[in-house]
Amino acid sequence: MGRAVMAETDALKEAKELADEILRLTKSIIITGAPGNEEQETEDFVFLMDEREPLIEQLSDLRNTIDENAINSKEYAEIAEVIAQVTVLDKKHIAIMQELHKGTQKSYKAVKLGQRITAGYNPLPGNEVSGKFDVMQ
């Protein structure tokens, strides 16, 4: 029985360390959506997701090893609080990234419209239409 309690304590300690690392990584990037920063902030966000993925998988695996008694513990409540902080930050980051995505979509649509307009007024080589009839033949 003592070893099971020790294993639970170790699992909770490891889970807390993982949750703290995930929070540290999440807080390490600042996403504002400010004009001119879009590219760097997008790269930072993608890097964050790549760095956090294995940590989240480890945390999920640990969750499966923790029994119901440990879930009601103070340590588990602390882990849940850290995860809640990460969730709040993620929601803010994702909202900004969605706005950047919408802006990118609008820009892409404007570029495609410009291309269609240009193609309509300036035919590609080989598609030219003569402005005069050849009456000499």
Assess contact for 31 and 97: CB atoms under 8 A. yes
Question: Quick one: pLDDT at residue 110?
Answer: 83
Helices (H), the chain: 2-28, 38-65, 68-71, 74-121
Model confidence at 134, pLDDT cuts 50, 70, 90, reads low
What does the pLDDT look like over 26-70, one tens digit per residue? Answer: 999 988 888 888 888 889 999 999 999 999 999 998 888 887 777
Do 26 and 86 meet the contact criterion of CB atoms below 8 Å apart? yes
For residue range 122-131, list pLDDT tens digits in order.
666 665 555 5
Whole-prediction pTM:
0.68
Residue that the structure tokens 């703290």 belong to: 20
Q: What is the pLDDT of residue 24?
A: 95
